[in-house]
Every structure is written in structure tokens, then in C-alpha cells.
Structure 1
Amino acid sequence: MEAEQPADRPMPPFNATIALLTVSRSVERALAEALEPRGLNVRKYGILGHIASAPGLSLSELARRSGITVQSTHTLIGSLVAAGWVRSEVSANGRPAALSVTDAGTDLLAAVTADLAELDARLFATPAMRAVADALEGAMRERFEER
């Protein structure tokens, strides 16, 4: 993940925002590569995780939490239902569908969790990257404590 700086070019001034984006893109590519053999992409994995953590979510609430349109969410849900990982149940006419993860979806999430542990161990193995991971964990805890 660390790129060598050519000797003939000086290191640009450090900017935390740009550094975090650079690391983030590299990590996202590695995540996409890890998810692909399981039939997932980053968005599908995120949607599946949201549904697992809050069964019964409506499409509109899921879209809001995911930061994508209802139409995109609907398309993603359709692919997750077709794969057998999500169940969409309508309790009565005119009521929104309640979404839940199937047993196959739960098994998939467990497998991906193991894959992510291996990915984290590889990506954050150096002391500097371990410090990044620890700092990010602290930032996420602060963010969720604010809610």
C-alpha cells in the first residue's frame, strides 16, 4: 500500500484529508477484491450489513442510511433477494416491505467477517498502518457516541 517516492521528486506537503482519501481508496480496492469472489461488491455488502443490523427496515430508511437513492436501493435489494441473501415481506396491502437477512445471508456475512479480519491483518500490519487503524477506531467510537 505504501508507494516509494522517486528520489528526484520531493515529498509533497502532508495533508491529512488527502492522505486519508489515498489510504481509503487503496483499502476500498482491496475490499472490493475480497468481496468479489463471494458475489458481493462494497455497496451490496453495506446494504446487507444494514439489513442484518436492523431487520424490518423499509427501503426508504435503508436508502437514507446508505446515502443512496431509493431506486438504487430497490435494485440492490432485488439482487440480494435473487441471490437468496435477503427476504422482503409485505405484511399488508399498501404497507412497505420489511427486509431481513436469510440464513444464507447470515452465513455469507459470517464468511465475509472472517475475510475482513484477514484483510485487516494484512493491510494494517505495519506499525504506522496499525496506528491508523487504532485512530480510525477511536474516531468511529466518538462519532457513534455523539448520537
Structure 2
Amino acid sequence: MTAAARSAGDPGLTLLLWELHQTARVAARHVDRAVEAAGISTPEFGVLACVNDEPGITRADIARQLHLRPQALTATVDKLQQRGLIDGTASGRGRPSRLTVTDAGRDALDGVWPAIVALNAPGNLGMTEQEALALATRLARLRRLLTEREADPL
């Protein structure tokens, strides 16, 4: 395995999205191990974090935040409800379900949070605080740009 960025033999060519894609795969494996050690899956962590951060959030809003189709989210939300980690109430037929984290859900988040914080610590990533903040800011900006372009691909 090479650590060098791919360039199709052209050292002047930077394939940033390809490098980001490959890096995201490696990063995802690290996150997966951290959350699974706490007894939840990565999708469950994402949903719990969204619901914890925004009590009353709807499934559709979670799907938007996690960049998932609402249908893909259903099984995860249902499983979390069955396990008693989140509650959902609908205000009427055809109305969106408003989700909240239960005490058990907060316990699950509390169990995984130290590992997530350690995993993201700039020193553990070979960066200073400023470098990590700058990279996170640039990545968020890139994600927004790419999301906006999804409707109008290049």
C-alpha cells in the first residue's frame, strides 16, 4: 500500500476527492470500531447524536443531516426505538414523528463519547488544534458545495 496520492502518472494532478474518498474509508473503519466497542453501530450513533443534539427532530431531518434516504433510516430508528434508546411521538395521522433520546440512549452516547473524542483529538491525528479546525472547516465547506451540486452535477 502506498501513502502517496494517486495522480495517473501526472505529478501535477491532484485528485482531491479520490484522496478524500480513500481517507474517509479508513476513517470510517476507526469510527466503526470505536462505536461498536460501546455496543452500538455507526448508523445508530449518528441517529442518537442527531436526536440528542436536536430533541424533537424528525426522521426526515435526520436523513438530511446524515445524507441518507429516509427509507434507509427507518430500520435504524425502529431498532433504536425497540431497544428503548429513543422515543418517537406523532402528533396525528400523517404527521412527522418527533424523536427524543431516552435515559438509556444518553447512557449509550455517554459510553461511546470518550472514544469518539479521543479518536478526533488533533494530536491523535498528527495535527495541532489550529490545523484540525482549519481542515474541519474546509471539509464542511466542501461538503456543502458538493451537496449543492448534487442537483446539478458537473
TM-score relative to the length of structure 2: 0.69
Inter-partner Cα distance in structure 2 for 1:127 and 1:62: 30
Amino acid corresponding to residue 108 of structure 2 in structure 1: L
Aligned residues: 136
For the aligned residue pairs, the C-alpha RMSD in angstroms reads 3.2
**Alignment partner, residue 137 of structure 1:** 136
Structure 1: runs of 5 or more not aligned: 6-10
**Alignment partner, residue 118 of structure 1:** 118
Q: Do residues 32 (structure 1) and 32 (structure 2) align?
A: yes
**Alignment partner, residue 44 of structure 1:** 44
- CA distance 1:17–1:50, change in 2 (3 Å): same
After TM superposition, list the pairs within 5 Å mapping 1:36-115 onto structure 2. Answer: 36-115=36-115
Amino acid corresponding to residue 64 of structure 2 in structure 1: R
Give the C-alpha shift of residue 80 in structure 1.
0.8
Give the C-alpha shift of residue 27 in structure 1.
1.0
Amino acid corresponding to residue 136 of structure 2 in structure 1: E
Give the C-alpha shift of residue 15 in structure 1.
3.2
SS at match of 1:35: helix
Amino acid corresponding to residue 19 of structure 2 in structure 1: A
Task: Give per-residue Cα distances to partners, 1:90-147, cap 9 Å, x unaligned.
Answer: 33444332100111111222222211122234741x359x84x34323326767xxxx
Amino acid corresponding to residue 113 of structure 1 in structure 2: W
Inter-partner Cα distance in structure 2 for 1:35 and 1:3: 28
SS at match of 1:40: coil
Give the C-alpha shift of residue 55 in structure 1.
1.3
- CA distance 1:17–1:91, change in 2 (3 Å): closer
SS at match of 2:57: coil
TM-score relative to the length of structure 1: 0.72
Inter-partner Cα distance in structure 1 for 2:27 and 2:97: 34
